[in-house]
């Protein structure tokens, strides 16, 4: 069996791409000219964008846990793996930041274990542990990947971590 991805795009859209496709049919040479005049570029996450949102996201997960909405918090950990942890771990491991795709094969064992530590069971205690592991993983990745141009919001981080303690005590 052969798996083939089909993607329908206009000629203008074909110019902007993340990879260079194999052209099977190009009667007028338009697709090849587009490839010749453009370059594939995979989008990398904006570290400042992540930092500006991360503590709000953790607060959101804590709100859900505090309300007993465990499934929402459980799902939200998947969002964090796909948008934050997976891409940053791939970058750390010198791979393209494709969410959690091929994480089992592309990440160093210790990094993969860190990612797995954010997977919880469906109960408050497990979700809290996984969320705390996610916070620690983010802090480690932030330290190893971000440079001094990323503004760290220490005040928001502290307030959210204080709230984290409050939710843990409930």
Grade residue 109 by pLDDT with cuts at 50, 70 and 90.
Answer: very high
Q: Check pLDDT > 90 for residue 57.
A: yes
Q: Check pLDDT > 90 for residue 150.
A: yes
**Which domains, from first to last, does the chain contain?**
1-41 (no CATH), 47-169 (1.20.120.330)
According to the model, what pLDDT value does residue 136 have?
98
87 in Cβ contact with 97 (< 8 Å)? yes
- Find all residues with CB under 8 Å of 123, minimum gap 6, and list them: 70
Average pLDDT over residues 34-41: 92
Rounded Cα gap, residues 6 and 62, in angstroms: 40
Q: What angle do CA 73, 75, 78 make, to 5 degrees?
A: 115
Average pLDDT over residues 69-94: 98
The helix (run of H) or strand (run of E) holding residue 124 is helix 124-145
According to the model, what pLDDT value does residue 71 have?
98
Q: Check pLDDT > 90 for residue 9.
A: no
- Counting Cβ atoms within 10 Å, is residue 135 exposed (0-12), middle (13-18) or buried (19+)? buried
Q: What is the pTM of this model?
A: 0.88
């Amino acid at each position: 069996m052969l798996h083939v991805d089909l993607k329908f795009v206009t000629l203008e859209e074909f110019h902007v791409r993340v990879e260079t496709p194999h052209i099977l049919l190009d009667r007028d040479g338009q697709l090849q000219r587009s490839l010749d005049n453009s370059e594939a570029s995979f989008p990398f996450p904006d570290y400042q964008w992540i930092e500006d949102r991360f503590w709000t996201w953790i607060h959101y997960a804590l709100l859900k846990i505090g309300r007993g909405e465990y499934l929402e918090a459980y799902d939200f950990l998947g969002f964090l793996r796909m948008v934050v942890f997976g891409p940053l771990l791939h970058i750390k491991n010198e791979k393209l930041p494709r969410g959690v795709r091929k994480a089992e094969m592309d990440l160093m064992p210790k990094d993969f274990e860190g990612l797995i530590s954010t997977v919880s069971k469906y109960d408050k205690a497990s979700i809290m542990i996984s969320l705390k592991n996610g916070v620690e993983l983010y802090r480690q990745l932030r330290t190893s990947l971000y440079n001094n141009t990323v503004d760290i919001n220490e005040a928001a981080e502290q307030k959210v971590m204080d709230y984290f303690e409050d939710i843990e005590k409930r």
